[in-house]
């Protein structure tokens, strides 16, 4: 009995230590976000005089009267950042959904269908994963120019519809998670390929689908180079480009820049909170057999 109680006490002690370490790590992780919110509410003259909130020199108390939401009002009002925010939401959402769906279909075809040239297509997918993305900017620009897709959202959406990494990722996921016997039984019952994919394959790969959806959304949301190359009209710029263009050569309104950065974080954080279970499940898929 004493041995059992001693083991229970040790387990509780290790649990408390683990929670304490996790709480410290969470606090350290949240410090940059707290600083960002505080910086977005400070005036430019208070930006370098205090670490977080501005203080009254005589008393050391927080000077609440020197905090202002004017930066957010300016960004969403006169500077038109709301349009850039909508552009980013549109581009990221459409790209994430279409890329996840197209790559899942491509991975399903490579994993569970036999056709001529299958090995060649798989090799081409693997080869495409090796090529660095910056090397494709020049030929991609020339192709978009010939197709008359420059300065359009289609010029950003179409090249991102089927990334090679996603095709190979779903190929491996479906190969490990979807048994061939299940698909053969469905075909014997007269189930069509499209219906079989959406009613039988998709539920089995939903964690990976959600994880890849989130990865593509964040990548598109933070994409800065491609919109700079493809788009020329300022009203079509996404949020990443619009915030970067707020920099001035001779004067920097740091509070304004921090407010723009804070606005750009909110949609991504909200999406991650909604898809965090699928994201974690997708990352751990195949880590444990059985």
Question: For residue 169, what are the CA distances in angstroms to 65, 164, 176, 200, 211?
Answer: 53, 8, 11, 18, 11
Identify the pLDDT of residue 71.
Answer: 83
Alpha helices in the chain (DSSP H): 2-41, 70-76, 81-112, 118-130, 137-146, 153-157, 164-177, 180-188, 193-196, 202-204, 206-221, 225-230, 239-244, 254-284
Average pLDDT over residues 200-217: 89
Q: Could you give all domains of the chain from N- to C-terminal order, each with its CATH number? A: 2-68 (no CATH), 71-284 (1.10.3720.10)
Q: Give buried/exposed letters for 81-90 (b at 16+ CB in 10 A, else e).
A: bebbbebbee
Taking the whole predicted model, whether its pTM rises above 0.85 is answered as: no
Give CA–CA dist 272/268, Å, rounded: 6
Identify the pLDDT of residue 286.
Answer: 47
Identify the pLDDT of residue 284.
Answer: 60
CB 208 within 8 A of CB 282: yes
Residue 223, Cβ neighbours under 10 Å: how many? 19
Between the ranges 12-16, 83-87, 274-278, where is the mean pLDDT highest? 83-87
If pLDDT is split at 50, 70 and 90, which confidence band does 187 have?
confident
Identify the pLDDT of residue 287.
Answer: 43
Please determine, for residue 100, whether its predicted confidence score (pLDDT) is greater than 60. yes
Please determine, for residue 253, whether its predicted confidence score (pLDDT) is greater than 80. no
Identify the pLDDT of residue 11.
Answer: 78
DSSP letter string, 42-66 = B-GGGTTT-SSS-B-TTT--B-GGG
CA angle 71, 73, 79 (to 5 degrees): 85
Quote the longest CA-to-CA distance of the chain.
83
If pLDDT is split at 50, 70 and 90, which confidence band does 6 have?
low
Round to the nearest angstrom and report the end-to-end CA distance of the chain: 35
Lowest mean pLDDT among 7-21, 53-67, 95-109, 274-288: 274-288
Percent of the chain, pLDDT > 90? Answer: 28
Average pLDDT over residues 216-235: 90
């Amino acid at each position: 009995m004493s041995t059992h109680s001693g083991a229970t006490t040790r387990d509780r002690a290790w649990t408390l230590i683990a929670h304490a370490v996790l709480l410290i790590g969470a606090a350290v992780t949240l410090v940059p976000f707290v600083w960002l919110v505080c910086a977005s509410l400070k005036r430019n003259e208070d930006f370098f005089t205090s670490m977080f909130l501005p203080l009254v020199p005589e008393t050391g108390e927080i000077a609440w009267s020197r905090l202002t939401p004017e930066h957010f009002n300016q960004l969403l009002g006169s500077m038109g950042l709301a349009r850039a925010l909508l552009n980013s939401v549109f581009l990221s959402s459409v790209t994430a959904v279409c890329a996840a769906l197209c790559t899942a279909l491509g991975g399903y075809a490579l994993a569970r269908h036999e056709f001529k040239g299958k090995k060649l297509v798989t090799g081409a997918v693997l080869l495409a994963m090796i090529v660095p993305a910056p090397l494709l900017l020049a030929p991609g620009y020339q192709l978009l120019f010939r197709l008359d897709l420059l300065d359009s959202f289609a010029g950003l959406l179409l090249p991102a519809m089927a990334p090679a990494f996603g095709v190979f990722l779903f190929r491996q996921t479906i190969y490990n998670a979807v048994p061939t016997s299940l698909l053969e039984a469905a075909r014997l019952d007269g189930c069509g390929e499209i219906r079989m994919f959406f009613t039988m394959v998709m539920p089995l790969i939903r964690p990976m689908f959600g994880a890849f959806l989130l990865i593509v959304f964040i990548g598109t949301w933070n994409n800065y180079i491609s919109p700079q190359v493809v788009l020329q009209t300022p009203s079509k710029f996404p949020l990443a480009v619009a915030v970067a263009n707020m920099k001035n050569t001779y004067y920097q309104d740091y509070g304004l820049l921090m407010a723009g950065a804070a606005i750009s974080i909110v949609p991504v954080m909200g999406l991650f909170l909604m898809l965090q279970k699928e994201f974690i499940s997708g990352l751990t898929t195949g880590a444990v057999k059985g």
